[in-house]
A and B are shown apart, each in its own frame.
Chain A
Amino acid sequence: MTAKKKTKSVKKAERWQDVDVHELAKLEINQRLTDEEKVRLYTDMVRIRRFEGRSLRSYQEGKIGGFLHLYEGQEACAVGTISLLGADDHVITAYRDHGHALAVGMSMNECMAEMYGKHTGCSKGKGGSMHFFAPDKNYWGGHGIVGGQIPLGTGIAFALKRQGKKGCCLAYMGDGAINQGAVHEAYNLAGLWDLPVIFIIENNAYSMGTSQARSSAYPECLAQRAEAYGMDWDTVNGNILYDVRAKTYEAIKRAHEESRPTVLEVFTYRYRGHSVADANHEKYRSKDEILDYKENKDPITLTRKQFIEEGVLTEESAKDIDKAAMEEATASAEFADKSPFPPATSILEDTYWSMDNKGQDPQIDELNQGRFIFEDGGVYDK
């Protein structure tokens, strides 16, 4: 396998890129959306927004433990990119994973219950907010260590190629992850071996509390580092759903048809802190900056405006969608609240496949005779 080196001329990327929505709407990939599909995309964005709002409340009520990394402000990225995926396309992301989870079709109930640490959660209360998984929907998490999921996503792409499938893997990361070594090792492997992976940097401007200017040696454009690895790259206005779809579509085509990787840098913005515990988020950035994004660049507002203009939505129908999303989110919190915690015995379960599947395959059982798993008698009496 030889890497085809395709590079672009250096360009300075602007955080706020003016794109012409009307021109983007004319692109084939956006033209092909039916009215119904557009409503679905809008609804999914609103559902994420309302779900996050409700989970924040639950966190403040003490129902959700640990960390809570909210996705409010970034909805168009998850919804727009995932709207293009087919049966053999896969998704893996970092710890700000609620938006992607809902976008791939996970239910609010299983996600909320997971954060409540309940047995009905998608990971049976074993993963929490940062570790949502749904392999049946090609959704591979939900990973807590910055950049750690990127080699995994590259491996998913490797497997797809090896299995002769025309699929790809969207591997999401934040702008902070770009300075992790594992990311660069994965970049090199993807470029070297022509892997159908799309690295999506959701650039929300801050690596926790540190701006790019203070964390990256070349902060003007993070995607451009792709050139060092012979990969194509592009930048995206993450507040414009049509732009997200247009650029992602090109990358997916490249992955499917040429088995080539792409780096996309999606400029977006998070309204909340790095996590809810981030008490300084109005200190390392100004209130005006947050307000500017909320009032002028909000992806949901901009999408609504466009869809109303197109006659797909009305103010009324948009309100109904919002109301339904709020109700769904409220119901998910009630569901989570009422759900039982996992039994203490479940602490040991799901550690080893071979323990959990005893009796299903005699050959495997034979292989695993004599297994001993250390256990804490105080927690679990056999």
Chain B
Amino acid sequence: MPQITYRQAIKEALAEEIERDPNVFVMGEEVAQYNGAYKVTEGLWEKYGDKHLVDAPISEAGFIGLGIGASMLGMRPVMEFMFWSFCYVAFDQLLNNGSFCRYMSGGLMNVPIVVRGPANGGTNVGATHSHTPENLCANHPGIKVVCPSNAADAKGLMKTAIRDNDPVFVMENTVLYGQKWEVPEEEYLIPMGKANILKEGKDISLIAHGRAAITALEAAGKLAEEYDIDAEVLDLRSIRPLDVEAILATVKKTNRVVYVEENKPFASVGAQITSIIQEEAFDYLDAPILRVSTIDAPQIYSMPLEKIQIPDADRVVKKVLKIC
């Protein structure tokens, strides 16, 4: 299997879906003629033209709302946020119109929109550009939230998201954009709501989403090498729908859990997963569930300190050693 970057994988997903369905178009700031702020859409405008790649002015509320309106009439908009950090100026559109239109109409209408872009810290850009809104968005029934941790997932989940009839928010990661993974050459789809065991193990479960799954995988390597602890790593892939079955299965197998995430800890995805585990599998736990999250302060600018603020493998290892 050839190795391609996370960025290239998403681009292939967009290109394949544009070719498959004439209703698909990508809209966002600098996605067309500029070739994408992070080059995710590089070359697509040249190939598919104005009909499928649309440069929007810096008006997130305006163009996200426009995408939602267009999707009501059967278009398949893929809206790019240059950063998910910019979603807050479009919150009314995303979270009132995107998530609730179907419900408030008693199911008479659908909003088959994809909103995608990077949602991560770790790039030394300060608090305003380092948001991780997956927990916030998942708190709105009607929306699906996907956080791919690697290139193969990014492609397969993106294609699924574009074909899905509900609004799907795909949260990517700029740190991953340039990294390579093996990606199948033939067409494939990855369903939402199916977690992925990145590494089998028996002593403890490291459950994670997004890039934190890669951090967890690295930690699992260290745990095996240095402490002879065999950790299982479960990558959720999507926050909503959520693969509760897979979560409970790994808990029942290892009886110990550390949740790893780049979300801030207060009311985070990890907090939610912890609640589900204690409710559904309390008797299987041999230790309290612990969490490794981004340190609970606005994202700091200073480079060495931001490295401390975001979870790394060493922090995960330390946390694991508390209960293993």
A370-B106 in contact given A151-B61, A353-B165, A353-B166 (Cβ < 8 Å): no
Which B93-122 residues sit within 8 Å CB-CB of chain A? 93, 96-97, 101-110, 112
Instruction: State whether B142 touches A127 (Cβ < 8 A).
Output: no
CB neighbours (8 Å) of B64 from chain A are 151
State the CA gap A178–B267 with chains docked (Å).
36
Closest residue on chain B to residue A133 by CB atoms: B105
CB neighbours (8 Å) of B241 from chain A are 368, 370-373
Residues of B in contact, count (CB < 8 Å): 57
Instruction: State whether A124 touches B107 (Cβ < 8 A).
Output: yes
Closest residue on chain A to residue B111 by CB atoms: A353
State the CA gap A156–B65 with chains docked (Å).
10
B221 within 8 A of A: no
Which A303-360 residues sit within 8 Å CB-CB of chain B? 349-354, 356-357
B320 within 8 A of A: no
State the CA gap A153–B144 with chains docked (Å).
24
A14 within 8 A of B: no
Summed over the interface, the residue pairs from A and B with CB atoms below 8 Å come to a total of: 195
Instruction: State whether A152 touches B65 (Cβ < 8 A).
Output: yes
B66 within 8 A of A: yes
CB neighbours (8 Å) of B71 from chain A are 155
Closest residue on chain A to residue B193 by CB atoms: A370
State the CA gap A1–B56 with chains docked (Å).
13
Which A115-162 residues sit within 8 Å CB-CB of chain B? 121-127, 131, 133-136, 140-145, 148-160, 162
State the CA gap A113–B70 with chains docked (Å).
29
A364 within 8 A of B: yes
Contacting residue for B243 out of A134, A192, A372, CB 8 A: A372
Instruction: State whether A131 touches B141 (Cβ < 8 A).
Output: no
B180 within 8 A of A: no
B12 within 8 A of A: no
Closest residue on chain B to residue A361 by CB atoms: B165
Instruction: State whether B165 touches A133 (Cβ < 8 A).
Output: no
> Scoring B residues 32 to 73 as 1 if CB is less than 8 Å from chain A, else 0, what string do you get?
000000000000000000110000110101111111111111
A34 within 8 A of B: no
B25 within 8 A of A: yes
Instruction: State whether B165 touches A151 (Cβ < 8 A).
Output: no
B285 within 8 A of A: no
Contacting residue for A350 out of B63, B97, B107, CB 8 A: B107
State the CA gap A133–B195 with chains docked (Å).
37
> Size band of the A side of the interface?
35 or more
Instruction: State whether B97 touches A143 (Cβ < 8 A).
Output: yes
B200 within 8 A of A: no
> Scoring B residues 160 to 192 as 1 if CB is less than 8 Å from chain A, else 0, what string do you get?
100111100000000000000000000001011
A186 within 8 A of B: yes
Instruction: State whether A189 touches B191 (Cβ < 8 A).
Output: no
B222 within 8 A of A: no
Closest residue on chain B to residue A127 by CB atoms: B104
A155-B70 in contact given A124-B107, A186-B65 (Cβ < 8 Å): yes
Instruction: State whether B142 touches A156 (Cβ < 8 A).
Output: no
Instruction: State whether B106 touches A122 (Cβ < 8 A).
Output: yes
Instruction: State whether A182 touches B75 (Cβ < 8 A).
Output: no
CB neighbours (8 Å) of A92 from chain B are 69
Instruction: State whether B164 touches A133 (Cβ < 8 A).
Output: no
B298 within 8 A of A: no
A370-B104 in contact given A155-B66, A182-B92 (Cβ < 8 Å): no
A126-B62 in contact given A153-B69, A351-B141 (Cβ < 8 Å): no
CB neighbours (8 Å) of A134 from chain B are 108
CB neighbours (8 Å) of B50 from chain A are 1
Instruction: State whether B107 touches A356 (Cβ < 8 A).
Output: yes
CB neighbours (8 Å) of B245 from chain A are 370
CB neighbours (8 Å) of A86 from chain B are none
B74 within 8 A of A: yes
CB neighbours (8 Å) of A373 from chain B are 141, 241
State the CA gap A135–B101 with chains docked (Å).
12
A123-B163 in contact given A151-B93, A367-B189 (Cβ < 8 Å): no
A133-B109 in contact given A159-B74, A188-B57 (Cβ < 8 Å): yes
Instruction: State whether A159 touches B106 (Cβ < 8 A).
Output: no
Closest residue on chain A to residue B61 by CB atoms: A182
Interface centre among B56, B59, B106, B164 (most CB of A within 10 A): B106
CB neighbours (8 Å) of B67 from chain A are 155
Instruction: State whether B62 touches A189 (Cβ < 8 A).
Output: yes
CB neighbours (8 Å) of B141 from chain A are 351, 373-374
Question: 7 other contacts beyond A124-B107, A133-B105, A188-B62, with CB at 8 A cut-off?
Answer: A127-B106, A151-B93, A162-B25, A162-B51, A169-B69, A350-B105, A370-B241
9 contacts between A and B (CB under 8 A): A127-B104, A136-B108, A148-B97, A151-B65, A151-B69, A156-B73, A350-B102, A357-B165, A370-B246
Give 5 closest A-B pairs by Cβ, nearest first. Answer: A155-B69, A151-B65, A185-B62, A124-B106, A350-B107
